[in-house]
């Protein structure tokens, strides 16, 4: 059964369940009148039920929907509100939030070439539920060098290419399992030496933290702004335009996204670029540079890469704000500084090319996240009339049952 069929089955099952429940309510209202009427506590006016009396010596009681409360012992509403809030937090819905600040300390490097620079760095790790967001900044590093950032457990968070000034940054969003973790960072040089070499470690080396379960609403919020994927087949003119933009450095950096991971190529040394994990299937691209005017980021995806742009939905954000697909290729490649950021997906023989225009430059973070769950949402939207009618039927029968109940008045 495909995704569409499963979603339709879910909608149909929900509708049948609601209709069966409505029948049960109607039967209960007709067969068990005592639950509503003569054997139940007396009904009183709403004003009486909500009022409180503090008369001393009174032994009378106020009856409201089957509950008895002595007059003069009204429950404090503010205390109730506080108790409910604490209960909702203790029921697993409380979202754990932590922030860790780490200093990246240079390590002794054996066999480093003359003039090799290690530099300095700082990092911040924000923890929300099971999600950690990593922000790392580096200065005075070895120029135009490739580095990779690891968690202390060896997880690869992302990689960067430093500018000619030796600056760089890495951002990543990663999910951890629920439970205790020792969290730390290490930075490795992957281009200077014969093998990956650790040049920095966090201080302290690790933080001991306990990861709590995320709420469902967090995951839903992260997908807001996603759009169905629309691709354009690249023709010869499109290929020539991309090659020209690469040569004149309108495209200052390229990200290569394959089945084995993502890497970067820096074409303009006035820029620095990094790529990091974004949840399980997405990508974070950070880029900064000393430039005026708009630039374009090119992301080459092979067909074996994690996302498949042939179907589904895609969320693309720039600095946390969702951006729209362009109506034409030139809207991206010839963007003006006053234009909004846009993206375009070209379909090629080897995969896809995602091009994103950035109107002006400082430090920007581009997030790309395929959203598989959108197909289910679309189907449920199509079947919404069926669900709405079922809910209406249940509501109507509840009203009928309530109206037909036997009543007793004071």
The DSSP annotation for 16-55 comes to HHHHHHHHHHHHHHHH-GGGTSTTSPPB--HHHHH-----
pLDDT exceeds cutoff 70 at 146: yes
Give the CA diameter of the chain: 98
| Residue 67, beta-bridge partner list | 64
CB 256 within 8 A of CB 300: yes
Tell me the C-alpha distance between 359 and 294, whole Å.
4
pLDDT exceeds cutoff 70 at 246: yes
Q: What is the DSSP letter of 90?
A: I
Which tokens sit at 270?
A: 């006035």
Over residues 22-39, the pLDDT tens digits come to 555 555 555 544 443 434
The top-scoring range by mean pLDDT among 48-62, 129-143, 346-360, 382-396 is 129-143
Question: Where residue 403 falls among pLDDT bands split at 50, 70, 90?
Answer: low
Tell me the C-alpha distance between 343 and 358, whole Å.
9
Calculated CA dihedral for residues 264, 268, 270, 274, nearest 10 degrees: -10
pLDDT exceeds cutoff 80 at 240: yes
Q: DSSP string spanning 352-398?
A: EEEEEEESS-SEEEEEEEEETTHHHHHHHHHTHHHHHHHHHHHHHHH
Alpha helix ranges (H) inside 302-351? 329-333
Contacts of 349 (CB under 8 A, 6+ apart): none
Question: Where residue 67 falls among pLDDT bands split at 50, 70, 90?
Answer: very low
Structural domains for the chain: 41-94 (no CATH), 95-222 (2.60.40), 224-372 (2.60.40)
The predicted structure's pLDDT at residue 18: 54
Tell me the C-alpha distance between 154 and 185, whole Å.
9
Question: Where residue 73 falls among pLDDT bands split at 50, 70, 90?
Answer: very low
Pairing of strands 324-325, 271-278: unpaired
pLDDT exceeds cutoff 60 at 99: yes
The residue-averaged pLDDT of 121-133 equals: 94
Name the pTM for this structure.
Answer: 0.65
Over residues 290-315, the pLDDT tens digits come to 888 899 999 999 888 766 665 678 88
Cα–Cα distance list, 69 to 50, 66, 329 (Å): 11, 10, 72
Cα 295–Cα 296–Cα 302 angle in degrees, nearest 5: 160
The predicted structure's pLDDT at residue 28: 53
Tell me the C-alpha distance between 29 and 397, whole Å.
10
- 119: number of CA atoms within 13 Å, CB side? 21
Tell me the C-alpha distance between 273 and 252, whole Å.
9
Indicate the SS3 state at residue 180. Answer: strand
Tell me the C-alpha distance between 27 and 23, whole Å.
6
Over residues 155-185, the pLDDT tens digits come to 999 999 999 999 999 999 999 999 999 999 9
């Amino acid at each position: 059964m495909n995704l569409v069929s499963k979603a339709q089955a879910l909608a149909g099952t929900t509708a049948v369940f609601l209709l069966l429940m409505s029948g049960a309510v109607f039967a209960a209202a007709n067969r068990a009148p005592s639950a509503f009427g003569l054997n139940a506590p007396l009904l009183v006016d709403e004003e009486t039920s909500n009022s409180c009396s503090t008369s001393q010596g009174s032994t009378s009681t106020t009856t409201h929907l089957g509950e008895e409360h002595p007059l003069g012992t009204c429950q404090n509403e503010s205390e109730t509100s506080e108790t409910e809030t604490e209960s909702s937090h203790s029921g697993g819905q409380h979202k754990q939030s932590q922030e860790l600040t780490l200093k990246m300390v240079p390590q002794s490097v054996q066999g480093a070439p003359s003039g090799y620079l290690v530099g300095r760095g700082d990092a911040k790790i924000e923890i929300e539920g099971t999600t950690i967001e990593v922000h790392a900044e580096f200065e005075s590093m070895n120029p135009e060098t490739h580095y990779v950032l690891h968690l202390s457990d060896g997880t690869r968070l992302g990689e960067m290419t430093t500018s000619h000034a030796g600056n760089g940054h890495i951002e990543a969003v990663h999910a951890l399992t629920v439970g205790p973790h020792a969290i730390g960072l290490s930075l490795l040089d992957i281009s200077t030496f014969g093998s990956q070499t650790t040049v920095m470690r966090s201080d302290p080396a690790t933080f001991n933290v306990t990861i709590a379960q995320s709420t469902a609403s967090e995951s839903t919020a992260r997908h807001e702004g996603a759009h169905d994927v629309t691709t354009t087949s690249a023709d010869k003119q499109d290929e020539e335009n991309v090659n020209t933009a690469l040569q004149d450095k309108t495209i200052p950096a390229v990200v290569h996204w394959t089945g084995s991971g993502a890497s970067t190529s820096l074409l303009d040394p006035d820029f620095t670029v990094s790529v990091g994990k974004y949840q399980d299937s997405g990508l974070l691209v950070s880029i900064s540079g000393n430039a005026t005017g708009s630039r374009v980021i090119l992301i080459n995806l092979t067909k074996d890469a994690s996302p498949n742009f042939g179907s589904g939905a895609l969320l693309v954000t720039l600095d946390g704000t969702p951006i729209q697909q362009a109506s034409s290729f030139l809207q991206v490649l010839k963007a003006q500084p006053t234009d909004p950021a846009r993206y375009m997906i070209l379909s090629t023989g080897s995969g896809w090319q995602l091009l994103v225009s950035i109107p002006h430059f400082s430090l920007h973070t581009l997030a790309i996240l395929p959203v598989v769950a959108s197909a289910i949402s679309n189907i449920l939207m199509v079947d919404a009339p069926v669900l709405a009618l079922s809910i209406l039927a249940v509501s109507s029968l509840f009203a009928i049952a309530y109206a037909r109940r036997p009543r007793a008045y004071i």
